[in-house]
């Protein structure tokens, strides 16, 4: 067995590095753009006058970087060829390796930099779950109109699954859609609608039939932001600012039949289409950021002299041992992430239809293992880096407090770690979820 990355993948990562150093880093260092990444980052990124939303200058800079990456051929890598992507047969492996590489890089790593600033899910190598949902479930008209608009920044959508009173189990939701002449009327509320401040549409999941707890009977709708009855109730301030996470209310919002995305009453399948790809890529980023924190901590410990003793901080086992334990976890987890990514690519190649279902059945436990452990590990590594850096680590002049505050969210989003641990337990112990759903396979 060869655990080395394939030579073409290594060459691809090298080309990514060259592009970042030749094009993205000069942009980051030009004018006063470093204010978005140094100790001023939270204030520079946040429009405090407008309720904590991202500042226009910050979002303009991210758009510039994405445009440059698109022109260079990197941005659309993970997309099918029909949309300008590579259509690579090993997309999951290549994306996981790329995410790990970019988050762990000593120059621009940690998920804090213009090449790969993960607070905004921003990267010069895009993810595009919304495009793949449209690709797999959209009508021909939706695909023809919305996917090109998305790639040009003219179509932007939120993902309306979570509600104020309902989170991890998406089979319970209070938002309903009632059929009326010509379409549906939607009423309810959604929370944590990321990007609501500049979206053109919202993907709203609502119950159209069936009882609470049933996976069947939920439908996805493409709702234009300016539709009458759609209101932004608030933007929730978070541990890491700025915020673009809105609570949205829907009061008898009428949409036509053409607003349905996918099949009526089968909307949860849309939510599950890209969940495993998202989770494995997030795991790779978290694992990479953990490595970044630990390597910076090691560098600090080797260079920091304790004057009373004349020794380096690294000479003490109290410093060495926790770093060794965490770095061991990083190395083991990196291999599990890459192996799981390879397995996902094999399952996709073998599947004749709806590969996400095959991934759910065969690899969902491994994806959950990677994701919940990586997100927890990143927080532990950032905390240890803060401790080793002492007062400097606690300051905003170093990246660790930002990394901790950002990656802490992933222990909740993309499926809370308790839900993912339960998913693994379902596979290990063979128990059944609510309504007899074998091995909790419909849990998100």
How does pLDDT run along the chain (444 residues), one tens digit per residue?
788 999 999 999 999 999 999 999 999 999 999 999 999 999 999 999 999 999 999 999 999 999 999 999 999 999 999 999 998 999 999 999 999 999 999 999 999 999 999 998 899 999 999 999 999 999 999 999 999 999 988 999 999 999 998 877 788 899 999 999 999 999 999 999 999 999 999 999 999 999 988 989 999 999 999 999 999 999 999 999 999 999 999 999 999 999 999 999 999 889 888 899 999 999 999 999 999 999 999 999 999 998 877 889 999 999 999 999 999 999 999 999 999 999 999 999 998 888 888 999 999 999 999 999 999 999 999 999 999 999 999 999 999 999 999 999 999 987 899 999 999 999 999 885 443 344 444 444
Say if strands 260-261 and 218-224 run parallel, antiparallel, or are unpaired.
Answer: antiparallel
- Looking at residue 236, the DSSP 8-state letter turns out to be -
Q: Residue 372, class by beta-carbon neighbours within 10 Å (0-12 exposed, 13-18 middle, 19+ buried)?
A: buried
Please report where in the chains the tokens 């880096």 appear, as a residue: 385
180: Cβ contacts below 8 Å, ≥ 6 apart:
254
| Among 247, 278, 242, 21, CA closest to 126 | 278
Q: What is the pLDDT of residue 87?
A: 87
The rounded distance, in Å, linking the Cα atoms of 78 and 74 is 9
Please report where in the chains the tokens 């400097």 appear, as a residue: 392
Q: Is 96 helix (H, G, I), strand (E, B) or coil?
A: helix
Question: Which stretches within 155-274 are classed as H helix?
Answer: 268-272
Q: For residue 183, what is the enclosing H or E element?
A: strand 183-194
Say if strands 201-207 and 157-160 run parallel, antiparallel, or are unpaired.
Answer: parallel
Residues shown for the chain: 444
The secondary structure of 12-76, three-state, reads: HHHHHHHHHHHHHHHHHHCCCHHHHCCCCHHHHHEEHHHCCEECHHHHHHHHHHHHHHHHHCCCC
Domains in the chain with CATH codes = 7-127+270-436 (1.20.140.10), 157-261 (2.40.110.10)
Contact between residue 356 and residue 344 where contact means Cβ atoms under 8 Å apart: no
Q: CA distances (Å), 275 to each of 80, 364, 429, 432, in order?
A: 17, 10, 23, 21
Q: What is the pLDDT of residue 432?
A: 57
The rounded distance, in Å, linking the Cα atoms of 119 and 7 is 31
The rounded distance, in Å, linking the Cα atoms of 10 and 13 is 5
- Cα–Cα–Cα angle for 82, 87, 90, nearest 5°? 165
Q: What is the pLDDT of residue 290?
A: 98
Q: For residue 220, what is the enclosing H or E element?
A: strand 218-224
| Among 64, 76, 150, 151, CA closest to 114 | 64
């Amino acid at each position: 067995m060869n655990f080395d990355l394939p030579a073409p993948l290594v060459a691809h990562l090298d080309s990514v590095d060259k592009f970042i150093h030749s094009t993205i880093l000069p942009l980051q260092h030009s004018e006063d753009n470093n204010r978005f990444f140094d100790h001023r980052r939270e204030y520079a990124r946040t429009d405090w006058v407008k309720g904590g939303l991202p500042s226009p200058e910050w979002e303009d800079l991210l758009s510039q970087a994405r445009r440059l990456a698109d022109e260079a051929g990197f941005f659309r890598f993970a997309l099918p060829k029909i949309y300008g992507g590579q259509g690579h047969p090993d997309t999951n492996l290549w994306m996981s390796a790329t995410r790990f590489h970019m988050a762990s890089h000593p120059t621009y790593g940690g998920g804090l930099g213009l090449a790969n600033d993960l607070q905004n899910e921003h990267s010069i190598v895009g993810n595009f779950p919304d495009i793949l949902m449209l690709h797999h479930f959209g009508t021909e008209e939706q695909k023809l109109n919305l996917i090109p608009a998305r790639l040009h920044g003219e179509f932007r959508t939120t993902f309306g699954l979570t509600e104020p009173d309902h989170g991890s189990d998406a089979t319970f939701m209070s938002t309903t859609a009632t059929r009326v002449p010509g379409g549906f009327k939607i009423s309810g509320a959604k929370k944590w609608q990321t990007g609501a401040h500049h979206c053109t549409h919202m993907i709203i999941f609502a119950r159209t039939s069936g009882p609470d707890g049933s996976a069947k009977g939920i439908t996805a709708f493409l709702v234009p932001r300016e539709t009458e009855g759609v209101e932004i109730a608030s933007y929730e301030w978070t541990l890491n600012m700025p915020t673009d996470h809105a609570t949205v209310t829907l009061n008898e919002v009428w949409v036509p039949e053409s607003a349905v995305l996918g099949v009526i009453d089968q909307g949860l399948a849309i939510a599950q289409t890209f969940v495993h790809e998202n989770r494995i890529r997030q795991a790779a980023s978290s694992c990479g950021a953990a490595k970044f924190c630990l390597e910076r901590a090691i560098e600090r410990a080797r260079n920091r002299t304790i004057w009373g003793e004349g020794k380096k901080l690294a000479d003490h086992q109290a410093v060495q041992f926790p770093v060794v334990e965490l770095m061991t976890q990083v190395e083991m987890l990196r291999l599990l992430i890459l192996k799981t990514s390879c397995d996902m690519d094999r399952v996709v190649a073998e599947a004749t239809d709806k590969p996400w279902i095959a991934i759910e059945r065969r690899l969902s436990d491994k994806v959950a293992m990677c994701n919940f452990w990586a997100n927890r590990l990143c927080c532990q590594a950032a905390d240890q880096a803060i401790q080793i850096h002492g007062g400097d680590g606690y300051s905003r002049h170093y990246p660790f407090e930002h990394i901790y505050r950002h990656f802490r969210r992933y222990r909740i989003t993309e499926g809370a770690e308790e839900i993912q641990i339960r998913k693994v337990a379902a596979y290990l112990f063979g128990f059944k979820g609510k309504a007899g759903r074998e091995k909790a396979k419909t849990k998100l």
